[in-house]
Amino acid sequence: MSLPRVRRTLLRDEAYRLIRDAIVDGSLAAGAVIRDADLAERLGLSRAPIRDALARLSAEGLVESKPQSFTRVTALALREVRDAGVVVEAMHDLAVRAAVPHIGEPELAAMRAANARFADAVRTADVDAALLADDELHDVLVLACGNRAVLATIERYTPLIRRLERRRFASLSGRRSIRLHEQLIAACAAGDVDAAAAVNHEIWSTLDELIEAEEQQA
Protein backbone atom coordinates (compact mmCIF):
# COMPACT_ATOMS: atom_id res chain seq x y z
CA MET A 1 0.00 0.00 0.00
CA SER A 2 1.31 3.45 -0.91
CA LEU A 3 -0.02 6.55 0.83
CA PRO A 4 1.39 10.09 0.51
CA ARG A 5 2.75 11.78 3.59
CA VAL A 6 0.59 14.54 5.04
CA ARG A 7 1.53 18.17 5.59
CA ARG A 8 1.30 18.66 9.33
CA THR A 9 -0.99 21.65 9.01
CA LEU A 10 -3.78 19.36 7.72
CA LEU A 11 -3.54 16.65 10.38
CA ARG A 12 -6.79 14.94 11.39
CA ASP A 13 -8.99 15.99 8.46
CA GLU A 14 -6.40 15.15 5.82
CA ALA A 15 -5.60 11.84 7.53
CA TYR A 16 -9.31 11.05 7.48
CA ARG A 17 -9.59 11.89 3.78
CA LEU A 18 -6.57 9.84 2.76
CA ILE A 19 -7.55 6.76 4.76
CA ARG A 20 -11.17 7.02 3.60
CA ASP A 21 -10.10 7.28 -0.05
CA ALA A 22 -7.76 4.30 0.34
CA ILE A 23 -10.69 2.24 1.66
CA VAL A 24 -13.02 3.39 -1.10
CA ASP A 25 -10.56 2.70 -3.92
CA GLY A 26 -9.53 -0.65 -2.47
CA SER A 27 -5.95 0.22 -1.52
CA LEU A 28 -7.08 -0.78 1.96
CA ALA A 29 -9.13 -3.86 1.17
CA ALA A 30 -12.11 -5.18 3.08
CA GLY A 31 -10.86 -7.10 6.10
CA ALA A 32 -7.47 -5.41 6.11
CA VAL A 33 -6.15 -4.90 9.63
CA ILE A 34 -5.30 -1.29 10.38
CA ARG A 35 -2.63 -0.34 12.89
CA ASP A 36 -2.56 3.31 13.85
CA ALA A 37 1.21 3.20 14.41
CA ASP A 38 1.78 1.93 10.86
CA LEU A 39 -0.52 4.58 9.38
CA ALA A 40 1.09 7.29 11.47
CA GLU A 41 4.49 6.35 10.07
CA ARG A 42 3.22 6.17 6.48
CA LEU A 43 1.46 9.53 6.71
CA GLY A 44 4.11 11.29 8.74
CA LEU A 45 1.79 12.05 11.65
CA SER A 46 1.51 11.31 15.32
CA ARG A 47 -0.93 8.60 16.34
CA ALA A 48 -3.48 11.06 17.79
CA PRO A 49 -4.89 12.40 14.48
CA ILE A 50 -4.85 8.86 13.06
CA ARG A 51 -6.95 7.63 15.97
CA ASP A 52 -9.35 10.54 15.51
CA ALA A 53 -9.68 9.72 11.80
CA LEU A 54 -10.26 6.02 12.50
CA ALA A 55 -12.93 6.85 15.08
CA ARG A 56 -14.72 8.96 12.48
CA LEU A 57 -14.43 6.22 9.87
CA SER A 58 -15.79 3.71 12.38
CA ALA A 59 -18.84 5.92 12.95
CA GLU A 60 -19.32 6.05 9.18
CA GLY A 61 -19.22 2.28 8.75
CA LEU A 62 -15.94 1.99 6.85
CA VAL A 63 -13.90 0.69 9.79
CA GLU A 64 -14.77 -1.62 12.67
CA SER A 65 -12.91 -2.02 15.94
CA LYS A 66 -12.84 -4.35 18.91
CA PRO A 67 -11.13 -2.76 21.92
CA GLN A 68 -7.73 -4.29 22.71
CA SER A 69 -8.13 -6.63 19.75
CA PHE A 70 -8.31 -5.21 16.22
CA THR A 71 -9.23 -2.39 13.88
CA ARG A 72 -10.02 -3.41 10.33
CA VAL A 73 -11.74 -2.29 7.16
CA THR A 74 -15.36 -3.42 7.06
CA ALA A 75 -16.72 -5.73 4.40
CA LEU A 76 -19.01 -4.20 1.80
CA ALA A 77 -22.50 -4.45 3.31
CA LEU A 78 -25.18 -4.13 0.63
CA ARG A 79 -27.90 -3.23 3.13
CA GLU A 80 -25.80 -0.29 4.32
CA VAL A 81 -25.13 0.73 0.72
CA ARG A 82 -28.86 0.63 -0.02
CA ASP A 83 -29.67 2.65 3.11
CA ALA A 84 -26.98 5.20 2.26
CA GLY A 85 -28.29 5.44 -1.29
CA VAL A 86 -31.78 6.31 -0.09
CA VAL A 87 -30.40 9.10 2.08
CA VAL A 88 -27.99 10.48 -0.52
CA GLU A 89 -30.62 10.43 -3.26
CA ALA A 90 -33.00 12.35 -0.99
CA MET A 91 -30.31 14.96 -0.33
CA HIS A 92 -29.58 15.35 -4.04
CA ASP A 93 -33.31 15.73 -4.67
CA LEU A 94 -33.41 18.55 -2.12
CA ALA A 95 -30.36 20.13 -3.75
CA VAL A 96 -31.91 19.93 -7.23
CA ARG A 97 -35.19 21.46 -6.12
CA ALA A 98 -33.49 24.27 -4.23
CA ALA A 99 -30.79 25.01 -6.81
CA VAL A 100 -32.52 24.80 -10.19
CA PRO A 101 -34.45 28.09 -9.88
CA HIS A 102 -31.15 29.90 -9.29
CA ILE A 103 -28.89 28.15 -11.82
CA GLY A 104 -27.13 30.46 -14.26
CA GLU A 105 -24.77 30.09 -17.18
CA PRO A 106 -21.62 29.69 -15.03
CA GLU A 107 -23.17 26.70 -13.25
CA LEU A 108 -24.45 25.19 -16.50
CA ALA A 109 -21.01 25.60 -18.09
CA ALA A 110 -19.42 23.84 -15.12
CA MET A 111 -21.89 20.95 -15.42
CA ARG A 112 -21.28 20.61 -19.16
CA ALA A 113 -17.51 20.61 -18.66
CA ALA A 114 -17.82 17.96 -15.94
CA ASN A 115 -19.96 15.77 -18.19
CA ALA A 116 -17.41 16.09 -20.98
CA ARG A 117 -14.71 14.91 -18.57
CA PHE A 118 -17.01 12.09 -17.48
CA ALA A 119 -17.55 11.00 -21.09
CA ASP A 120 -13.80 11.01 -21.76
CA ALA A 121 -13.17 8.95 -18.62
CA VAL A 122 -15.84 6.42 -19.55
CA ARG A 123 -14.33 5.99 -23.00
CA THR A 124 -10.91 5.27 -21.50
CA ALA A 125 -12.29 3.21 -18.57
CA ASP A 126 -10.65 5.61 -16.09
CA VAL A 127 -12.63 4.82 -12.93
CA ASP A 128 -11.07 7.54 -10.78
CA ALA A 129 -11.61 10.27 -13.36
CA ALA A 130 -15.17 9.15 -14.11
CA LEU A 131 -16.26 9.16 -10.48
CA LEU A 132 -14.52 12.48 -9.85
CA ALA A 133 -16.23 14.09 -12.86
CA ASP A 134 -19.58 12.66 -11.77
CA ASP A 135 -19.12 14.18 -8.31
CA GLU A 136 -18.10 17.51 -9.82
CA LEU A 137 -21.21 17.64 -11.98
CA HIS A 138 -23.62 16.96 -9.14
CA ASP A 139 -21.65 19.13 -6.71
CA VAL A 140 -22.58 22.16 -8.81
CA LEU A 141 -26.19 21.73 -7.72
CA VAL A 142 -25.29 20.74 -4.16
CA LEU A 143 -23.21 23.89 -3.69
CA ALA A 144 -25.75 26.07 -5.48
CA CYS A 145 -28.52 24.97 -3.14
CA GLY A 146 -26.65 26.61 -0.26
CA ASN A 147 -27.70 24.04 2.35
CA ARG A 148 -24.72 22.98 4.47
CA ALA A 149 -26.66 20.11 6.05
CA VAL A 150 -27.33 18.65 2.60
CA LEU A 151 -23.64 18.91 1.71
CA ALA A 152 -22.50 17.35 4.99
CA THR A 153 -24.94 14.45 4.69
CA ILE A 154 -23.87 13.68 1.11
CA GLU A 155 -20.20 13.76 2.12
CA ARG A 156 -20.96 11.49 5.08
CA TYR A 157 -22.70 8.69 3.18
CA THR A 158 -21.34 8.79 -0.37
CA PRO A 159 -18.15 6.79 0.41
CA LEU A 160 -20.27 3.73 1.27
CA ILE A 161 -21.84 3.95 -2.18
CA ARG A 162 -18.57 4.61 -3.99
CA ARG A 163 -17.09 1.30 -2.78
CA LEU A 164 -19.77 -0.59 -4.72
CA GLU A 165 -19.62 1.72 -7.73
CA ARG A 166 -15.89 1.16 -8.07
CA ARG A 167 -16.27 -2.62 -7.85
CA ARG A 168 -19.04 -2.57 -10.43
CA PHE A 169 -17.72 0.19 -12.69
CA ALA A 170 -17.47 -2.09 -15.72
CA SER A 171 -21.19 -2.88 -15.44
CA LEU A 172 -22.23 0.77 -15.37
CA SER A 173 -23.80 1.99 -18.58
CA GLY A 174 -21.54 4.92 -19.36
CA ARG A 175 -23.52 6.08 -22.38
CA ARG A 176 -26.71 6.02 -20.35
CA SER A 177 -25.11 8.12 -17.61
CA ILE A 178 -23.81 10.64 -20.14
CA ARG A 179 -27.28 10.93 -21.65
CA LEU A 180 -28.91 11.35 -18.23
CA HIS A 181 -26.40 14.04 -17.32
CA GLU A 182 -27.28 15.85 -20.54
CA GLN A 183 -30.98 15.63 -19.67
CA LEU A 184 -30.31 16.95 -16.18
CA ILE A 185 -28.37 19.90 -17.57
CA ALA A 186 -31.13 20.63 -20.08
CA ALA A 187 -33.76 20.59 -17.33
CA CYS A 188 -31.63 22.94 -15.24
CA ALA A 189 -31.16 25.28 -18.19
CA ALA A 190 -34.94 25.36 -18.70
CA GLY A 191 -35.54 26.00 -15.01
CA ASP A 192 -37.77 22.91 -14.90
CA VAL A 193 -37.51 21.72 -11.30
CA ASP A 194 -39.77 18.69 -11.67
CA ALA A 195 -38.00 17.47 -14.80
CA ALA A 196 -34.59 17.86 -13.14
CA ALA A 197 -35.80 15.96 -10.07
CA ALA A 198 -37.17 13.17 -12.28
CA VAL A 199 -33.84 12.81 -14.09
CA ASN A 200 -32.02 12.82 -10.76
CA HIS A 201 -34.23 9.93 -9.62
CA GLU A 202 -33.47 7.98 -12.79
CA ILE A 203 -29.74 8.53 -12.28
CA TRP A 204 -29.99 7.07 -8.80
CA SER A 205 -31.92 4.04 -10.03
CA THR A 206 -28.57 2.81 -11.37
CA LEU A 207 -27.50 2.12 -7.79
CA ASP A 208 -30.35 -0.36 -7.32
CA GLU A 209 -29.18 -2.17 -10.44
CA LEU A 210 -25.62 -2.40 -9.08
CA ILE A 211 -26.88 -3.76 -5.74
CA GLU A 212 -28.99 -6.37 -7.51
CA ALA A 213 -26.02 -7.43 -9.63
CA GLU A 214 -23.85 -7.77 -6.53
CA GLU A 215 -26.53 -9.78 -4.73
CA GLN A 216 -26.84 -12.18 -7.66
CA GLN A 217 -23.09 -12.75 -7.66
CA ALA A 218 -22.89 -13.32 -3.90
> Could you tell me the CATH number of the domain that includes residue 201?
1.20.120.530
* Res. 78: pLDDT tops 70: yes
Whether 57 maps to a domain, the answer reads yes
- Total domains, the chain: 2
Whether 5 maps to a domain, the answer reads no
Question: Do 204 and 113 sit in the same domain of this protein?
Answer: yes
Total H helices, total E strands in the chain:
9, 2
Instruction: Give the per-residue pLDDT at 22.
Output: 92
The C-alpha atoms of residue 26 and residue 30 are separated, in whole angstroms, by 8
Question: Do 58 and 165 sit in the same domain of this protein?
Answer: no
Question: Do 137 and 153 sit in the same domain of this protein?
Answer: yes
Question: Do 134 and 202 sit in the same domain of this protein?
Answer: yes
pLDDT grade for 153, boundaries at 50, 70 and 90: very high
Question: Do 59 and 83 sit in the same domain of this protein?
Answer: no
Question: Do 60 and 102 sit in the same domain of this protein?
Answer: no
Question: Do 109 and 52 sit in the same domain of this protein?
Answer: no
Q: Which of 32, 56, 73 is at the close of a domain?
A: 73
Q: Give tens-digit pLDDT for 106-118.
A: 999 999 999 999 9
Question: Do 94 and 33 sit in the same domain of this protein?
Answer: no
* Overall average pLDDT of the 73-77 stretch: 92
Q: Which of 19, 51, 73 is at the close of a domain?
A: 73
Whether 102 maps to a domain, the answer reads yes
Instruction: Give the per-residue pLDDT at 218.
Output: 65
* Overall average pLDDT of the 142-167 stretch: 93
Question: Do 66 and 99 sit in the same domain of this protein?
Answer: no
Question: Do 201 and 101 sit in the same domain of this protein?
Answer: yes
CATH of the domain at 27: 1.10.10.10
Question: Do 151 and 176 sit in the same domain of this protein?
Answer: yes
Domain extent at residue 189: 78-217
Q: Which of 58, 73, 88 is at the close of a domain?
A: 73
The C-alpha atoms of residue 113 and residue 187 are separated, in whole angstroms, by 16
Of residues 161, 157, 167, 162, the one with CA closest to residue 214:
167
Q: Which residues pair with 33 in a beta bridge?
A: 72
Q: CB 75: neighbour CB atoms within 10 A?
A: 12
Whether 2 maps to a domain, the answer reads no
Whether 174 maps to a domain, the answer reads yes
CA separation (Å) from 76 to 30, 160, 214? 7, 8, 10
Candidate from 41-45, 170-174, 201-205 with smallest mean pLDDT:
170-174
Average model confidence (pLDDT) across the chain? 90
